[in-house]
Amino acid sequence: MPSEYKYPIDCHMHMTSCECADLIKSITGKKTFNGNPFGGHDHKSIISLLDNAGIYKGFAISSAYIYSMEDMNIEDPIQNTVRENDFVIRECSLSNGRLIPFFSVNPLTSYALDEVTRCCRYETPKGLKLHFTNSRIDIEDKYHLSRLSQILSVAESNSIPVIIHFRSRRNENPQKALKFIDFICENHKNLKIIIAHIGGWGGFDEITKLTFELFLKGISCAPLKVQENIYLDFSGVVITPNEVIIGTFKETIGSDIKCIESLLQQYPEVKIMFGSDWPFIDSASYIENMKNFNISENTLASILSQDFEL
C-alpha cells in the first residue's frame, strides 16, 4: 500500500449503473439512499470516496442480482445481468488496480452458472457477490444448497473470493450460521469468503448479535485452512439516527458496541474487515461514525488495517 494512504481497503462498495439505479428507485420509491445517489457510479466517483477516506483499494460490487428478484418480472433478466456485471468489470479496469470488481448472480436462476463461468474468464482480479436476501436462499433447502455449491465450486476452482450477504428472511435462525460453516468445511475449504455485515444485514439487532456470535464460534472451531479463508466485514453495523430505517435498521447504541468488542476479544483469531456499504454511507463518514461510538483504539485499528489478498 502506498504511504499516502492510511487504510488498505473498503471491502463493501456498491457500483451501480444508471439503468440499474432506475430499477432500484422504482422498487424503493426513493431517489437517493441516505442522500447518496443509488447509481450512476463510475470508477472516478468510487475512487474519490476512497481518496477522501485515505483508503487505497475498494471492492466494487455489482447489483446484477437485482434483475432476478422474485415477482419483479424484469424483461430479459439475463441480458440485464450480463450488462450490469460487464459495467462494473469495465469501470474497475480503468482504476489502475484500485478497484476490484465483484460480479453478482442469483444462484437459483437457470443462467447463474453460465454467468459466473463467463465472468471468471476476464483476465483481471475479481470476485463474486451472492445476496441471500434478494435471492431468497435457504441453506436448509437441499436444492438451494446444491445450486449454491455449484456456484461456489466454480469460484473455488478459479481462486475467486466470494462476498456473501448471509442473512435473509429464510435464514433468520442464527443456528444456520454454524450449519453454513460446516457446509464450507465439508465442501469448499479452499474458498475465500467474506461474510457481509458480520452475518446480519446491517445494524446490530438480536438476530445479528446471535448470528455474529455463532459465526465467530464456528470459524474459530474450523480447521486452520478454513479459519484463514473466512473474513467478516463490518459494513453497515454502526447505525446513527441518519441511517435508521424503521423496521429494518435500528440505531446502534453503546451497549451494542460493548457486546461486539467483548465477542471479538473472545475470538481474536477471526478477521474483521472494514466496509462502508456505499451508497448506504460513504467510507469517510462511516469511519467517523465508528470513532464517535467509542470503539476502542485497538479494535478500530484492527478492523481498519485488515487487508485481503486476492
Q: Where are the domains of the chain?
A: 7-305
CA 179/CA 182 separation, integer angstroms: 5
Distance of alpha carbon 279 from alpha carbon 12, whole angstroms: 10
Residue 38 pLDDT exceeds 90:
no
> Binning pLDDT at 50, 70 and 90, where does residue 32 land?
confident
- Choice among 53-57, 186-190, 237-241 with the minimum mean pLDDT: 237-241
pLDDT attached to residue 236: 95
* CA pseudo-torsion sign 278, 205, 8, 93: negative
Q: Which residue has the higher pLDDT, 37 or 189?
A: 189
Distance CA 224, CA 233 (A): 19
CATH 3.20.20.140 fits 7-305, yes or no: yes
Q: Is the pLDDT of residue 41 over 70?
A: yes
Mean pLDDT over residues 89-102, rounded? 98
What is the pLDDT at residue 172?
74
Helix axes 283-292, 43-53, angle to 10 degrees: 30
Q: What is the dihedral of CA 155, 158, 160, 163, to 10 degrees?
A: 0
Q: What is the mean pLDDT of the chain?
A: 94
**Using one digit for the tens of pLDDT, what is the confidence trace for 202-224?**
999 999 999 999 999 999 999 99
Tell me what pLDDT residue 69 has. 84
Confidence band of 34 (pLDDT split at 50, 70, 90) = confident
The Cα 165–Cα 208 span in angstroms is 12
pTM of the model: 0.96
Pick from 16-20, 36-40, 59-63, 282-286: least confident: 36-40
Of the pLDDT bands very low, low, confident and very high (cuts 50, 70, 90), residue 75 is confident
State residue 83's pLDDT score: 98
- What is the mean predicted confidence (pLDDT) over 106-130? 97
3-state class of 265 per DSSP?
helix
Is it the case that residue 170 has pLDDT exceeding 70? no
- Distance, in Å, from the CA atom of 180 to the CA atom of 183, rounded to the nearest integer, reads 5
pLDDT, tens digit (0-9, with 9 covering 90-100), for 231-258? 999 999 999 988 887 667 888 989 999 9
**pLDDT confidence of 294, banded at 50, 70, 90?**
confident
Question: Which three three-digit cell numbers place residue 250?
Answer: 435500528
The pLDDT of residue 246: 66
8-12: average pLDDT: 99
CA distances from 267 to 35, 98, 216, 299 (A): 36, 31, 6, 12
Name which of 277, 283, 192, 243 is nearest 5 in CA terms: 283
CB 134 within 8 A of CB 106: yes
Q: Which band of pLDDT confidence, cut at 50, 70 and 90, is reported for residue 171?
A: low
